[in-house]
Amino acid sequence: MTPSEGWPVTTDTSWLEQALDAALLGPEADPNPRVGAVILDAEGQVAGVGHHRGAGTVHAEVDALRQAGPRAAGGTAYITLEPCAHHGRTAPCADALQAAGIARVVYAVADPTPEAGGGGVKLQHSGLEVEQVHLPAAEELVEHWALAVRLQRPWVTVKMASTLDGRIAAADGSSAWITSPEARADGHKLRAISGAIMVGTGTIAADNPSLTARYDDGDLLERQPLRVVVGQRPLTGDFKVVNEDAPTRHFQTHDVAAVLRDLFGNGIRRVLVEGGPILIAALWQAGLVDEVVNYIAPALLGDGPSAISGLDIDSMDGIARLDLVDVQRIGPDVRLTSRPRSAHAPTSTESRSG
């Protein structure tokens, strides 16, 4: 990994990027963020490299300190996220760093949570040298989790698959398959990194999806996201979501904000919404959409339903514009990733094309 463009190349930056590489080994779909740590001994040699493996496991700092052992004394800790300062499932990492005799701590991203933040200040008051070195890639790594803990609801990604003229199905309701196998495989990667997949009862009735994350050969992934169905219509045993392939929750309500609060309280930090038009419109109108991923096939239908309806936009004065942040070709299709222009959405620095 190379130093991020626009930031000075320093030894601290290089070590933080090694910590970032370690953080990437952690699970994405987890209540806790992915964090990495590198411990240097007093001579500046690597003594330990650690990462967080998910809720309930030791944090990255403790993982690295265990490897370092007594070599940590007088050394430096490089951590992608500010050390926590509270007792949760594990003891505060700030205390562990101090007890190990670490002399200097460098972290990339401040912890945004009221209960866990402040570890840097705590360590400074204990006599350690503490410095924050901003690293954009580290901020991107935890942006979904950071927004979730700040707003107390999961990051919401809306996924669409449409033709060039914006149709998600033909006039007769058939929709298999608008996009290519490559695009569908890419969509399963989105499912795999999400804590939950959400759809409305209308989508369940029309398409009867399984809402599972699968390998390219169709086998189920070991970890399955929670399947979330929203709407008053009852679920019957004929639907594929009513099986043992993955857990399912049915919220018989139209209060999408309440659904998201409940999911957050149960450890869900990222939700992938796959339909239908009414549910997506409800989330959009409530200001609860953080990202839109649209797979566009080079095809035309002319008639048929669109991915979203009921926004009550009658003229161009009310058009809902988004910022395009990523463009990728996936097989014969194109994947567009956009972010709403809202107060809480992360700011896009530039569009990227690959």
Residues catalogued as catalytic: 61
The whole-angstrom separation of Cα 338 and Cα 354 is 15
Question: In this structure, are residues 199 and 169 in contact, taking their beta carbons and an 8 Å threshold?
Answer: no
* Contact indicator for 42, 175 with CB cutoff of 8 Å: no
In this structure, the number of other CB atoms found within 10 A of the CB of residue 280 comes to 28
Give the 3-state secondary structure of residue 10: coil
Q: Give 111-149 as a 3 state SS string.
A: CCCCCCCCHHHHHHHCCCEEEECCCHHHHHHCHHHHHHH
Q: Rounded to 5 degrees, what are φ and ψ at 98? A: -65, -45
HSE-up of residue 250 (Cα within 13 Å, Cβ side): 13
Whole-angstrom CA distances from 18 to 3, 14, 82 are: 10, 6, 16
Residue 303 tokens read as: 């008639």
| DSSP category for residue 344 | S
- In which residue are the tokens 């926590």 written? 84
Q: b/e per residue, 175-213, with b = 16+ CB within 10 A?
A: beebbbebbbebbeebbbbbbbbbbbbbbbebbebbbbb
* DSSP 8-state code for residue 79: E
**By C-alpha distance, which of 133, 121, 118 is closest to 38?**
133
